[in-house]
Amino acid sequence: MKQSVSVRTAGNVVLALTIIFSVLPFLSMLSAALQPQGSMPEGIQFTAHPQWSNFVDAWNMADITPLLWSSTLLVIVVVPLVVLFSALGGYAFAQLKVPFGRLLYMLFIVGLTIPFETLVTPLYYEISGMGLLNTRLALMLPLIGLNLPFGIVWMRSCFEQMPRDLIEAASIDGAGHVRTFRSIQLPLALPAVSSLGILTFLATWNQFLLAVVLVNDPNKRTMAGALQAFVGQYQTDTVLLNAGALLIMAPTMLLFIILQRYFIRAMLAGSVKG
């Protein structure tokens, strides 16, 4: 009994320390971002007069408005297409009969863990050959392709758990494959679809390497990619740099906090299946 009390105390202390460790860098940035512009902040310090207006200046200097638009546009195109193509492909692997199915599926499995670092050089020349360098399509098209291996594996395992009688019943009804897919299977797969949407959103919004390599204009990049240009420009201005970086992180953090239940469920399940 005595031991269990001491374990519980240790648990509370350790939990508190871990939480502090996780949020400390954010607090540290916030503290620096609220100091007067041009000052040299030091660590985390209390400010009697927090300069919230720094965020307005950083918003303008980091050009957040076009960035938000650019990232949003990217997500609006990439996420639905990845989800749709993955659902179609996963359905084919799980419930239909794909010729050479095992081989094709293995091809997708291989792509699951290939680091983007390996692909970025040939992608650069491929996109450049297509004449798409520095356009929005330069990011959209590869991101659709690169998110598919995970999507296919994810949706296949979801459709595989669906009861077989459902399709049999549907095919006796005379419902075509497309109709079975659209009106019976897809609605049942909705939780998996929404999780895939969240994971694809994160992977797209946070994409850095491809954005830096394929798009020169920071305003056509992802928000993460734009961070590189912003940091390069304001390296010496600790106050504005931190304010701008916080703004760039803010959209995902806000969305995560609002939809935390779904994010956490998706990320946990995603790691286990991926």
Partner 1 sequence: MSNIQVDAGRLNPKATSKRHRTQAGGRASLALVSLLFLTPALLFYGVFELWPIIQTIWYSLYEWNGIDASTFVGLQNYVTVFTDPDLYGSILHSFILILFFSVIPIALGLVIAALIKEIKSKTASTFAQVCLFLPRVIPGAAAAVAWTWMLADKGTVNQMLRAIGLGDLAHVWLGDQSTALAAVGVIGFWLQLGFCIVLLLSGMGSIDQSLYEAASLDGAGWWRQLFSITIPGLRGQIGVCLTMTIVAALASFDVVYMSTQGGPGRSTMVPGVAVYRLAFTEQSVGLASALAVALMILVLLVVGPLQRLVNGKRG
Query: Interface residues for partner 1 in 157-216 (CB under 8 A)?
Result: 165, 168-169, 172, 177, 181, 202, 205-209, 212-213
Given 35, 55, 62, 108, the residue binding partner 1 (CB under 8 A):
108
CA 186 to chain centre: 23
Say how far apart CA 98 and CA 259 lie, in whole Å. 37
Given 25, 38, 131, 187, the residue binding partner 1 (CB under 8 A):
25
Given 68, 73, 88, 186, the residue binding partner 1 (CB under 8 A):
88
Shortest separation between residue 48's beta carbon and partner 1, angstroms? 19
> In this complex, which beta carbon is closest to partner 1, that of residue 53 or of residue 260?
260
Amino acid identity of residue 224, one-letter, is A
3-state secondary structure of 145: helix
Q: Which of residues 228-267 bind partner 1 (CB under 8 A)?
A: 228, 231, 238, 241-242, 245, 248-249, 252-253, 256-257, 260, 263-264, 267
> In this complex, which beta carbon is closest to partner 1, that of residue 57 or of residue 126?
126
Position 218 contacts partner 1 (CB under 8 A)? no
Shortest separation between residue 107's beta carbon and partner 1, angstroms? 7
The CA-atom distances, in angstroms, between 31 and each of 49, 228, 241, 261, 272 are 11, 22, 12, 29, 37
Shortest separation between residue 148's beta carbon and partner 1, angstroms? 5
Shortest separation between residue 175's beta carbon and partner 1, angstroms? 13
Say how far apart CA 219 and CA 243 lie, in whole Å. 18
Shortest separation between residue 262's beta carbon and partner 1, angstroms? 12
Tokens of 234: 């304001």
The secondary structure element, H or E, covering residue 124 is helix 116-129
Tokens of 129: 């050959």
Tell me which DSSP letter residue 179 carries: H
CA 147 to chain centre: 10
Given 39, 53, 60, 121, the residue binding partner 1 (CB under 8 A):
121
> In this complex, which beta carbon is closest to partner 1, that of residue 48 or of residue 271?
271
Given 56, 76, 190, 268, the residue binding partner 1 (CB under 8 A):
268
Given 96, 134, 160, 183, the residue binding partner 1 (CB under 8 A):
96
Shortest separation between residue 227's beta carbon and partner 1, angstroms? 5
The secondary structure element, H or E, covering residue 141 is helix 137-160
Shortest separation between residue 135's beta carbon and partner 1, angstroms? 15
Shortest separation between residue 209's beta carbon and partner 1, angstroms? 5
> In this complex, which beta carbon is closest to partner 1, that of residue 68 or of residue 104?
104
Torsion of CA 140, 145, 149, 154, to 10 degrees: 50
The CA-atom distances, in angstroms, between 160 and each of 140, 154, 156, 183, 189 are 29, 10, 6, 17, 11
SS3 annotation, 245-274: HHHHHHHHHHHHHHCHHHHHHHHHHHHHHC
Tokens of 59: 């918003």
